[in-house]
Amino acid sequence: MSQTDKTTRATTIYQKVRADIIHGAYAPGAKLRIDGIAAKYDVGSNAVREALSRLSSERLVERHEQRGYTVPPVALDDWRVLARTRCFLEGHVLAESMRRRDDLWEEAIVVAFHRLSRVSRAARETAREEWEDAHRNFHRALIANCGSPWLIDFCDILADHAARYISFSNAFRKAPRDGLAEHEALMKTVLNGTPGEASDCLTRHYTHTLEVIEDLFERDELAGGGPSAGLAELTGSIAGLVRKD
């Protein structure tokens, strides 16, 4: 096998294991056995080891000396820090995109929402992957005009970690949520409002997700939950971080 083939295979395994972790195929804290993953995907152990090493640098895998690799646990404090950081960073990046606005950027947002709305109306389970792609693309479209690939990459990393918590929470969530209406409101605020109003709208959207998952922790339906420190206080601190004076 050529070096190019080895690199391509290692990248493919990295992408597959990464998707498995984000979508909850492995339980929090589960040991990631190199031999088992290699057998699952019919690849050599070196490709798996390289993939897990890359994932550990993204904090999607925990590496333990002499004990191998495990899936990171889910914990309330970690989720709240993640939510706060995501609102702070993405709110600022969204505001910068709006300050640099042009027709192409606005049209891309409208198209991305249209695709999200079409997938959202499909009730079949097979549409889940399509929805996840459309949802991520919509949020990417909002910040795409910020002028910094670095900031977009940082937002993507945070979105990946948030998606892992959301994947676990979806298995327990019972109350319906009109996510399409939330995204439509966000789109309209971005297109017609001020950067401060759009950042606030994004914060409310992400805080709603925060509340849903915190409630699951409080009911011990997600492992590793801790005591609540008060949603009102946290929501206020997030809004204060992203609100532009």
Residues 143, 234 within the same domain: yes
Which structural domain range is residue 206 located in?
A: 76-242
CATH number at residue 165: 1.20.120.530
Q: pTM of the entire structure?
A: 0.80
Q: In terms of DSSP H, where are the helices of the chain?
A: 3-22, 34-41, 45-57, 76-99, 103-120, 128-143, 149-170, 179-192, 195-218, 231-242
pLDDT in tens, 194-241: 999 999 999 999 998 888 888 888 877 655 433 333 333 333 433 343
Residues 32, 142 within the same domain: no
Strand partners, 63: 69
Distance CA 83, CA 162 (A): 8
Residues 154, 217 within the same domain: yes
For 29-55, what is the mean pLDDT? 93
CATH number at residue 35: 1.10.10.10
Distance CA 34, CA 11 (A): 16
pLDDT in the model for residue 221: 61
Answer with the one of 70, 103, 125 that is the final residue of a domain: 70
Strand partners, 64: 68
pLDDT in the model for residue 191: 98
Dihedrals phi, psi of 145, to nearest 5 degrees: -95, 15
pLDDT in tens, 107-149: 999 999 999 999 887 655 557 778 889 999 999 999 999 999 9
pLDDT above 80: residue 66: no
CB 77 within 8 A of CB 63: no
pLDDT in the model for residue 214: 87
Residues 132, 189 within the same domain: yes
The closest of 4, 13, 153, 35 to 90, measured between CA atoms, is: 153
Residues 84, 141 within the same domain: yes
